[in-house]
């Protein structure tokens, strides 16, 4: 076996975990999770990823790499007014929706028919607040934050995949050496904490449904595209269904949604891993092993994040989502005919609007689809009689 197989798997796991753990912490804080519940969240989701990645890679003989839903976590972190119990209820509903999508092909095709511009506008509206908060973190500690921002943009010129990880590690060391961190916590093994779900209409509509749509449109469909680009021919149903099943099983312990990976998968599916595509599936077990280690020490990792300066956590989360934000904006505005619906979706989502207890992501999607529908009617000349009447009256 080529050494490039385990190396690629471990690099993908470390980059995926270390570069976005700050977003998990932000999501947990947004729903009022305790440190114990946050540790359980990290442990449960890492275990889910390890098992599903190991099973799917071995079963399909393809490098099927899974991840937590980074845009989904950003959605949770940007939400307000939900408790941890409601979040768990929303995770359960999302898992059921993903299982249903895996079992019924028409659901996958239906989600795929949501225009990429509108879906990306919603995603960009979710992510933009993190980029803004990263800039707002500068006045809190400019001597720590400004050098890290500079380092991020320099490093990403040479290796974008590790730029966020370098900022996290470098910022943590700088905070420790300059006395910004009182002391490191005692290492401890992780435990799972059962959290009672609470189901509410507001959480289902405002959290579960947008989480499902973001996970499908921004993660699962992209993950399938990465596999196809590498020359594989995956069956979408079983892959999505399995990630939905493990999302459902991990939800009572705080674990949020898992899905097919895109960026991490790209590291594990290319010819640099192995010239023979039939051998690349072996990255899956090594990737699973890495996340099993993360699961075991999840409590210690969460405890370390708890003592780091808040400005550093906000910065890392914002920088980690900068590239997805740029990509979402470029897709949202690419098609000139759909720019207005995409812009409306972005504006409503970014506004943080809460109406009838339902969050902005849902209303942004609704607003964008309504404007898109009106634009389509206009193109079909359906408004021409009304236009002629208006011109006559005026």
Mind listing the pLDDT tens digit of every residue in the chain (394 residues)? 788 888 888 878 877 887 788 889 899 999 999 989 999 999 999 999 999 999 999 999 999 999 988 888 988 988 888 999 999 999 999 999 999 999 987 877 777 677 878 878 887 887 888 889 889 989 988 988 999 999 989 988 887 767 877 888 888 888 888 888 777 777 778 889 999 999 999 899 989 998 998 888 778 877 887 788 788 888 888 999 999 999 999 999 999 999 998 777 877 887 878 888 899 999 999 999 999 999 998 888 888 877 788 888 888 878 877 877 887 888 888 888 888 999 999 999 888 787 766 667 778 888 988 998 888 777 775 555 545 545 654 5
Tokens in use for 181?
A: 């961190």
Query: Smallest Cα–Cα separation from 125: which of 356, 344, 339?
Result: 344
| pLDDT in the model for residue 357 | 64
Query: For residues 202 and 208, what is the distance between their CA atoms, to the nearest angstrom?
Result: 9
Contact (Cβ atoms closer than 8 angstroms) between residue 101 and residue 111: yes
Contact (Cβ atoms closer than 8 angstroms) between residue 247 and residue 90: no
Length of the chain: 394
Query: For residues 347 and 350, what is the distance between their CA atoms, to the nearest angstrom?
Result: 5
Ramachandran angles phi, psi of 88, nearest 5°: -60, -40
Distances (CA, A) of 197 to 156, 157, 203, 227, 234: 41, 44, 11, 35, 34
Contact (Cβ atoms closer than 8 angstroms) between residue 209 and residue 362: yes
Query: For residues 214 and 202, what is the distance between their CA atoms, to the nearest angstrom?
Result: 17
| pLDDT in the model for residue 391 | 61
Cβ partners under 8 Å of residue 271, min gap 6: none
Give the DSSP H or E segment for 308: none
| pLDDT in the model for residue 389 | 47
Task: Give the 3-state secondary structure of residue 195.
Answer: coil
Contact (Cβ atoms closer than 8 angstroms) between residue 307 and residue 185: yes
Task: Give the 3-state secondary structure of residue 196.
Answer: coil
In 39-64, which positions are buried (b, 16+ CB within 10 angstroms) versus exposed (e)? bbbbbbbbbbbbbbbbebbeebebbb
| pLDDT in the model for residue 120 | 82
Task: Quickly list DSSP for 66-120.
Answer: EEE-HHHHHHHHH--S--HHHHHHHHHHHHHHHHHHHH-HHHHHHHHTS-HHHHH
| pLDDT in the model for residue 82 | 92
| pLDDT in the model for residue 84 | 96
Query: For residues 373 and 103, what is the distance between their CA atoms, to the nearest angstrom?
Result: 29
Sign of the torsion formed by the C-alpha atoms of 265, 271, 275 and 278: positive
């Amino acid at each position: 076996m080529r050494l490039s197989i385990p190396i690629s798997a471990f690099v993908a796991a470390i980059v995926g975990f270390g570069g976005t753990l700050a977003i998990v912490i932000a999501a947990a804080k947004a729903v009022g999770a305790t440190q114990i519940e946050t540790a359980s969240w990290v442990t449960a989701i890492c275990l889910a990823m390890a098992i599903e990645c190991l099973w799917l890679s071995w079963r399909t003989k393809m490098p099927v790499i899974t991840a937590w839903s980074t845009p989904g976590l950003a959605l949770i972190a940007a939400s307000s007014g939900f408790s941890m119990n409601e979040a768990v209820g929303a995770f359960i509903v999302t898992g059921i929706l993903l299982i249903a999508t895996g079992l019924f092909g028409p659901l996958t095709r239906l989600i795929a028919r949501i225009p990429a511009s509108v879906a990306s506008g919603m995603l960009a509206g979710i992510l933009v607040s993190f980029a803004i908060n990263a800039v707002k973190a500068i006045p809190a500690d400019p001597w720590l934050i400004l050098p890290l921002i500079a380092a991020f943009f320099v490093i990403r010129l040479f290796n974008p995949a590790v730029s966020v990880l370098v900022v996290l590690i470098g910022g943590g060391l700088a905070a420790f050496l300059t006395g910004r961190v009182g002391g490191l916590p005692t290492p401890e093994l992780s435990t799972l904490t059962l959290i009672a779900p609470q189901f509410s209409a507001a959480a289902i509509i405002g959290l579960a449904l947008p989480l499902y749509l973001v996970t499908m449109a921004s993660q699962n469909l992209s993950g399938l595209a990465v596999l196809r680009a590498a020359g594989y021919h995956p069956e979408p149903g079983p892959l999505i269904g399995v990630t939905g099943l493990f999302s459902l099983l991990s939800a009572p312990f705080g674990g949020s949604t898992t899905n097919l990976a895109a960026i991490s998968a790209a590291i594990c599916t290319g010819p640099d891993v192995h010239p023979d595509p039939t051998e690349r599936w072996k990255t899956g077990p090594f990737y699973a092993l890495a996340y099993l280690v993360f699961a075991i020490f999840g409590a210690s990792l969460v405890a370390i994040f708890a003592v780091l300066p808040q400005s550093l956590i906000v910065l890392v989360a914002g920088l980690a989502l900068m590239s997805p934000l740029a990509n979402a904006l470029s897709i949202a505005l690419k098609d000139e005919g759909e720019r207005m619906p995409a812009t409306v979706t972005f504006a409503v989502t970014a506004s943080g609007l809460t109406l009838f207890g339902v969050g902005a992501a849902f209303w942004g999607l609704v607003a964008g689809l309504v404007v898109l529908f009106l634009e389509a009617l206009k193109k079909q000349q359906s408004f021409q009689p009304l236009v002629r009447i208006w011109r006559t009256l005026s």
